[in-house]
């Protein structure tokens, strides 16, 4: 007989290794669809590794891909820590990007020292304000933020498409639904010549560090953690519940908005409605893999980015569909969620044993 019992104590070592094992398990399980696609499995893994880490160029691509994932991962991690379930990072990313191109594509002209902070700030503000709506609906009306943030994603995506087809369409864009390009002053510089990795990575790493300090060392972080762990005790102890949710919502939305800024101002140079291949949703996987730790988000984002970049390059080399990357990411989320059960509960196999006295009595 199998029984599941809650664990009394979870050791830190165990809590650290379980997500790592989950990631390994997810990579292992990817062998099944690879086999089904007819690929040679060992060379598939080798080309996946080479695609992600095999050259300076590969690493640059990996870090380029990790940049938005760190930021959306932070968005999810901060919100989830306070049990504010922000599933809307995708939409917040898009409004962040939209605000960046609105400010940075010629509406204002100033030197980079002013333009770049301005563009970042406007994107963060847009993302934060967008997240403020579901946050207030939660605190004032009790509306479930999972539903409201998720649905807002579709509204925002359609809104962005409308803007790109209409008022913000680039007249020089040869009819493509895309925004005007960012001005050179508003563009984030590349980190290295001939590499795509850009200053957005440094900004993302800085944001992770800052959030780590806020979450672990500040009064705000204390209040956010208390709220996430036991909202009714937090309220009873005089912690301003609504104000804290609002802070969490603003910070979370701002991080996702910053991801949008970083993509248009650092990588693409202009906005299209397919600028994010689901970074907002992958950010949830990143945050869960990271155990909601801002520093862990960096590691998890690099892992997920490696899966995407590696699987991309592998699919080209092995001529299998690049959906394999999505599959591995989905598998890692499932593995993490399942493994979290193992962290919190232990599975016991029980063979009913009867004491000697009782057995004698039976006879």
Contact set for another protein, span 208-227 (CB under 8 A): 217-220, 222-223, 225-226
* CB nearer another protein, residue 4 or residue 155: 4
Residues paired with residue 347 on neighbouring β-strands, in sequence order: 4
What CA–CA distances, in Å, run from 210 to 76, 207, 254? 15, 5, 13
HSE value, Cβ hemisphere, 13 Å, CA-based, for 249:
24
Cα dihedral 178→180→185→189 (10° resolution): 20
The binder of another protein chosen from 113, 174, 350, 363 (CB under 8 A): 350
**Residue 107: Cβ within 10 Å count:** 11
Query: Taking contact as CB under 8 A, which single stretch among the options 120-128, 261-269, 288-296, 351-359 is the one that binds another protein?
Result: 351-359
- Cα–Cα distance between 180 and 37 in angstroms, integer? 41
Q: By CB under 8 A, tell whether 9 contacts another protein.
A: yes
The binder of another protein chosen from 8, 38, 141, 172 (CB under 8 A): 8
* CB nearer another protein, residue 5 or residue 274: 5
The binder of another protein chosen from 38, 166, 167, 352 (CB under 8 A): 352
Given a contact cutoff of 8 angstroms between Cβ atoms, the answer to whether 185 and 111 are in contact is yes
Q: By CB under 8 A, tell whether 132 contacts another protein.
A: no
- The least CB distance from residue 355 to another protein, in Å, is 5
- Cα–Cα distance between 55 and 32 in angstroms, integer? 27
Number of shown-chain residues binding another protein (CB under 8 A): 33
Given a contact cutoff of 8 angstroms between Cβ atoms, the answer to whether 91 and 126 are in contact is no
- The least CB distance from residue 83 to another protein, in Å, is 11
Q: By CB under 8 A, tell whether 354 contacts another protein.
A: yes
- The least CB distance from residue 10 to another protein, in Å, is 10
SS3 state of residue 3: strand
* CB nearer another protein, residue 7 or residue 316: 7
The binder of another protein chosen from 11, 109, 230, 319 (CB under 8 A): 230
Given a contact cutoff of 8 angstroms between Cβ atoms, the answer to whether 250 and 84 are in contact is no
Angle between helices 279-289 and 323-344 (to 10 degrees): 30
Q: By CB under 8 A, tell whether 239 contacts another protein.
A: yes
- The least CB distance from residue 7 to another protein, in Å, is 8
- Cα–Cα distance between 93 and 70 in angstroms, integer? 12
Binding positions for another protein, rule: CB under 8 A: 1, 3, 7-9, 217-220, 222-223, 225-226, 229-230, 232-240, 350, 352-355, 357-358, 361-362
């Amino acid at each position: 007989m199998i029984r599941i019992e809650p664990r009394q104590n979870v050791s830190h070592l165990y809590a650290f290794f379980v997500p790592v094992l989950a990631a390994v398990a997810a990579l292992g399980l990817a062998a099944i669809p690879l086999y089904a696609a007819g690929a040679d499995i060992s060379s598939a893994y080798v080309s996946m590794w080479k695609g992600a880490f095999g050259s300076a160029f590969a690493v640059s691509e990996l870090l380029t891909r990790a940049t938005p994932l760190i930021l959306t991962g932070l968005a999810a991690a901060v919100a989830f820590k306070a049990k504010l379930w922000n599933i809307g990072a995708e939409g917040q990313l898009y409004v962040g990007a939209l605000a960046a191109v609105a400010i940075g594509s010629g509406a204002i002209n100033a030197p980079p020292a002013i333009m770049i902070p301005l563009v970042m700030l406007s994107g963060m503000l847009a993302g934060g304000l967008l997240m403020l709506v579901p946050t207030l609906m939660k605190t004032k009306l009790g509306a479930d933020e999972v539903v409201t943030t998720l649905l807002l994603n579709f509204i925002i995506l359609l809104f962005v498409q409308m803007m790109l087809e209409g008022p913000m369409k680039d007249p020089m864009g040869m009819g493509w639904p895309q925004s005007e390009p960012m001005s050179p002053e508003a563009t984030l510089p590349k980190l290295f010549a001939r590499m795509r990795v850009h200053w957005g990575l440094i900004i993302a790493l800085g944001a992770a560090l800052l959030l780590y300090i806020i979450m672990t060392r500040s009064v705000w972080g204390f209040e956010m953690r208390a709220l996430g762990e036991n909202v009714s005790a937090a309220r009873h102890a005089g912690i301003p519940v609504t104000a804290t949710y609002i802070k969490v919502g603003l910070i979370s939305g701002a991080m996702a908005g910053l991801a949008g800024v970083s993509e248009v101002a650092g990588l693409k140079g202009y906005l299209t409605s397919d600028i994010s291949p689901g970074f907002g949703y992958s950010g949830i996987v990143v945050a869960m893999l990271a155990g909601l730790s801002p520093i862990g988000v960096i590691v998890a984002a690099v892992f997920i980015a490696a899966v995407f970049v590696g699987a991309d390059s592998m699919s080209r080399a092995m001529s299998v569909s690049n959906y394999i990357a999505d599959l591995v990411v989905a598998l890692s989320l499932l593995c993490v969620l399942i493994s979290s059960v193992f962290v919190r509960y232990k599975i016991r196999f029980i063979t009913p044993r009867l004491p000697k006295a009782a057995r004698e009595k039976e006879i």
